[in-house]
Amino acid sequence: MAGHTLNIHFMKNILILALLFAGNTAFAQDYCKQVKKEVTENNTSFNYESPYKEDSLPLIRVVRNYSTNPEADFDNFSLIFAIPCEFSDLLVPGASGETEKEEQGVVIEFDDKTKLEDDITVTHNKKGDGTAMRVLYYPVNGDNIKQLTTKKIISFKLATAQSVVSPELATAIQKYVTCIRDVKKM
């Protein structure tokens, strides 16, 4: 009888461990499977894009498109950052009325407080409702790939506008950069 009770306790413990393991893996995400892939019919041009929602802010996307055609060789790998604003915030008074100001500069801050900075031009996408988006395409390359795949972005600044990045989004962006990097070695 003692052996039977021991077997029941042992089996209960095994069942509990199995349920805990199954529960933990249920929350694990395969970020690489979420990346959208498009290939041209002749299999020479490849486009990869991380998932995103226009209404989910801050907006950060990871995109890469490249060609294996030697006559049209390119490899464009970027993070796209966007921060919404009022279009009126992008205007400056001038002699002939208000004009859209020119902005530049990006600062990407990581969880270890290090930063990537560049003087890239910030573009403005005006919407019909009087709002706009500050948008910046940040090139991913051999100089910054290690930081983008080993550190998490906690905030970014486009010209004078700053946005904080949630821990969930920071993890996702880090994973998407890694997945998209691995489709074609740099």
Q: Give the rounded percent of residues in the chain with a pLDDT score beyond 70.
A: 84
The first and second tokens of residue 106, run together, are 């990006």
φ and ψ of 160, to 5 deg: -100, -5
Q: Is residue 100 part of a domain?
A: yes
In a domain, 50, yes or no: yes
pLDDT computed for residue 95 by the predictor: 85
Between 105 and 13, whose confidence is greater? 105
Query: Residues 150-167: pLDDT tens digits?
Result: 999 999 999 999 999 999
pLDDT tens digits, one per residue of 11-58: 555 545 454 444 443 345 899 999 999 999 998 999 999 998 777 777
Share of the chain above pLDDT 90, in %: 70
Tell me how many domains the chain contains: 1
Evaluate whether residue 151 is within a structural domain: yes
Nearest of 184, 170, 183, 185 to residue 79 by alpha carbon = 170
Q: Per the domain annotation, does 158 fall within a domain?
A: yes
Containing domain of residue 164, as a range?
32-181
Task: Note the pTM of the prediction, 2 decimals.
Answer: 0.81
Q: Is 170 inside any structural domain?
A: yes
pLDDT on residue 168: 95
Q: What is the pLDDT of residue 24?
A: 42
**CB proximity list for 177: less than 8 A, separation 6 or greater:** 62, 79, 140, 145, 148, 149
Asked, for residue 47, whether it belongs to a domain, the answer is yes
d(CA 106, CA 158): 5
